[in-house]
Structure 1
Amino acid sequence: MKKFKSPQKTSIAIILGSLVLTYVPIPGLQQTVIVVSGTELQEPLQQLERKFEQANPNIKLELKFQGSQDVINNFLDQKNDFKATVLIPANGELLTELSERLRATNNNDPFYDTPQPIAKTLLVAIAWPERGKVLFPNGRFQWNRIEQAMQANSWGKIGGSSNWGSFDFVTTDPTRSNSGQVTLNLWSATKLGGNINSNSFNDPTVQTLFSLIKKSVYQPPRSTDILLQEFIARGPNDADVATVYESIALYRWQQSAATQGKPYQIYYLNPSIESTATAAIVRRDVDGGTANAAKKFLEFVTQPEQQAILVQYGFRPVNKTVDLKTVPGSPWKQNIPGAEVTPSIQTLQPPNSQTITEIQRAWERAN
């Protein structure tokens, strides 16, 4: 005798089937979005990845991290062993460079949409407290004091203890990292007494400066977060002063206290440059469905709740509804030496793509 399902059981089966379709990714329908970012965003993006995938089970994120200039160069030269969907260098000007270089060989727009700002940060300096007091007795960062210390190459010759040994300044490799490029841009501008352009790096004064820095900075790290972790691990006597992003300086401050006993001091550069981590969805090897999935991710990252997470990692939000002072766990509420919500400094535009190219050329020529 044939058995029939009751209407009630059939309805329950349909509801359960709908729930499975809603919450369980279906093989073949899941989109994979590969995000290539500068290392300064590594830890917050890993946290946001988990949140995003929970809210969007049919989209899988794969995160890759490189120095910001490497993000551009590796994509251009097709050196990656994966097909990137989204690029997020630390500075939006690097995407302009990418766009210009791609348009030179192909007239099509290389991006699906206008690149989208994700988070902001400033270039700052950090120094171990005793050394900072000797180097900057008035409490303000000065490029000329760094240059004098490099030339002396000895703390004993610039008012420090002879037991401190040689003076060690650290910055990232400007051929691979945005923070190294910004460091050299600001230092050159100060040396020449004002704003600079791409021709400034042919000036003998700047060329001499680059040679001094290159001799003093041994094997510069490829990215800013790697630099800071090495700075903390090496401690005084092996790393004295460094230029890094405010974001990771704030985020890793507690780590420096735990590792070295005394945490570093933050110094705001004046003028400084604000770097805006900016995301672009690339067209090469990315279909429309994957691009739409990437758009969902970028919309997610710029919402207030996610921007607050970025603040907890020391970034300044691009969403103006988020307040640095009221975000739970904000590093600006932790009395970090030197940290300021609104520092009294002049903020300059980041170097454009042509200037970045000239900085790299001048660095490579320096000896």
Structure 2
Amino acid sequence: MIYGENKSKLLKIITSCTIILITLVITYIPIAIPGLQQKLVIVSGTELQAPLQTLEAKFRQSNPQIKLELKFQGSQELVNRYINKRDDFQPAVLIPGNGEILTDISDRLRAIYKSEPFYDSPQPIAKTMLVGIAWPERGKILFPNGRFQWSKIEQAMQVINWGKIGGASSWGSFDFVMTDPTRSNSGQLTLDLWIKSESGVRINSTSFINLSVRSLLSLIKKSVYQPPRSTDILLQEFIVKGANQADIATVYESVALHRWQQSIATQGKPYQIYYLDPSMETTATAAIIRPNVDANTANAARKFLDFLTQPEQQAVFVQYGFRPVNDTVDVTAVANSPWNQNIPGAEVQPNITLLPAPTSQAIAEIQRLWERVD
């Protein structure tokens, strides 16, 4: 009898130990054996590279079973590469700089697979807007009233030399910089706003017939030499080249705020930020891709996107110059907020009109216009 009781107790102990061992294995084996981790490939616009790389380590600490692989491309480029299967990896999440770009990919995927292209509704991650930047002495000549004007840039492009528009002849040619609109969202926003200021109409399928639009695009294309593929690359080149090679540019407010100290270190002075009026607010938006992405990977993606929209992580985006999508976050209350650093021209609430970002149809037309014009 005693023997039977001891045997029963022994079995219970063995069972309990087995359960504990299984629990430990489930919990820690993904860490011990990286091959069993859940891999999650995120492809984002380059404007989010700095904050996402900062947040990657923090996410890994609280989610060791999920291995993030971050890839960065121009916002339009990432869509084109995914649709045309030009990448050697399978992304689970796409985060272009403009949520409207996801409408394009949604339509194209739905046509291919005849089913819903995303697991969930696309999720906003962070906001910014298009601004102008200029080296101070150039900006004072071109915008004497302190306000950005497309017409002044167009005039400078036409006369080419700074000496003919009130600058020093030693400054050489006028050099405006923007990103490639066939690969980057900020280049698309630039053309959309510029064309609106020229013609006063929205871009549509008849825009190429408009002589003023064609003339403007032709002037821009001839004046902008080898436009970079992404906004962050553009700004880094703008800072390194300095005045006489890069005078004025259109970029996201976020990267302009984030890299202003780099301009001081490299050129000995910061660039001036100019708020466009009207401008466009653009929201980096994430979508979990359904084709070739299994449910477990989709669940891991949901954890990551939920992580990004929490106040603590939104504050990190603010530190990198973005405006939060979480309304509980105050940009002036965040530690090391760029809006508290007296950056030339930076404003918490600029008195400007914000237009909606161009639709997917308008984006497609902008790309066609740019490719067709001489």
Q: Aligning the two structures, in what range does the TM-score lie when normalised by the shorter sequence?
A: over 0.9
Q: Which residue of 1 is the match for residue 223 of structure 2?
A: 216
d(CA) in 1 for partners of 2:290, 2:23? 34
Displacement of 1:215 in angstroms is 0.5
1:22 paired to 2:30: no
Amino acid in the other structure paired with 1:36? V
* SS at structure 1 position matched to 2:112: coil
Matched, 1:193 2:200: yes
Q: Does 1:104 align with 2:111?
A: yes
Q: Following TM superposition, by how much is the alpha carbon of 1:284 offset from its aligned partner in structure 2, in angstroms?
A: 1.5
Call closer, same or farther: CA 1:55–1:341 in 2, change over 3 Å. same
1:73 to 60, 75, 80: 80
Q: 1:63 aligns with which of 67, 70, 73?
A: 70
Letter matched to residue 186 of structure 1: L
Q: 2:260 aligns with which of 249, 253, 257?
A: 253
1:180 equivalent among 184, 187, 192: 187
Larger radius of gyration: 2
Of 44, 56, 62, 1:49 maps to 56
Residues in 1 aligned to 2:170 and 2:15: alpha-carbon distance in whole angstroms: 82
**How much does 1:61 deviate?**
0.4
Q: Indicate the larger mover: 171-180 or 10-19.
A: 10-19
The code of the aligned residue for 2:190 comes to T
Looking at structure 1, the residues matched to 123 and 200 of structure 2 have their Cα atoms a distance apart, in angstroms, of 33
Q: Provide the residue aligned with 1:320 in structure 2.
A: 327
Percent identity among equivalent residues? Answer: 69
Partner of 2:301: 294
Distance in 2 of aligned mates of 1:243 and 1:121:
13
1:294 alignment partner, SS class: helix
For 1:336, the equivalent position in structure 2 comes to: 343
Provide the C-alpha distance between the structure 1 equivalents of 2:29 and 2:333, rounded to a whole number of angstroms: 36
1:203 corresponding residue in structure 2 = 210
1:264 corresponding residue in structure 2: 271
CA contact (8 A) 2:203 2:365 kept: no
Question: Residue 273 of structure 2: SS of its match in structure 1?
Answer: strand
| Unpaired stretches in structure 1, ≥5 consecutive residues | none
- Equivalence for 2:236: 229
Mean Cα deviation higher: 104-113 or 143-152: 104-113
2:249 maps to which of 242, 251, 263: 242
Whether the 8 Å contact between 1:324 and 1:332 is mirrored in structure 2 is yes
Q: Deviations over 1:285-305 (max 9, x none)?
A: 110000100010000000000
Where do residues 123-134 of structure 1 align in structure 2 (5 Å cutoff)? 123-134=130-141
Alignment of 1:97-176 (within 5 A): 97-176=104-183
Q: Under a length normalisation based on structure 2, what TM-score does the superposition of the two structures give?
A: 0.93
Task: Give TM-score scaled by structure 1 length.
Answer: 0.95
What code does the residue aligned with 1:166 have?
S
- Decide whether the 8 Å contact of 2:257 with 2:320 is kept in 1: yes
For residues 310-358 of structure 1, give each alpha carbon's deviation from its aligned partner in whole angstroms, at most 9, with x where no partner exists. Answer: 0000000000000000000100000001000111000011111111111
Q: How many residues align?
A: 363
Unpaired stretches in structure 2, ≥5 consecutive residues: 1-9
**Residue in 1 that maps onto 2:370:** 363
Shift of 1:263: 0.7
Distance 2:29 2:257 in 1: 39
Letter in 2 for 1:239: A
Aligned position for 2:312: 305
SS of the residue aligned with 2:307?
A: helix
CA contact (8 A) 1:24 1:57 kept: no
Q: CA deviation at 1:201?
A: 4.0
Q: After alignment, is 306-315 or 102-111 more displaced?
A: 102-111
Shift of 1:103: 1.9
SS of residue paired to 2:113: coil
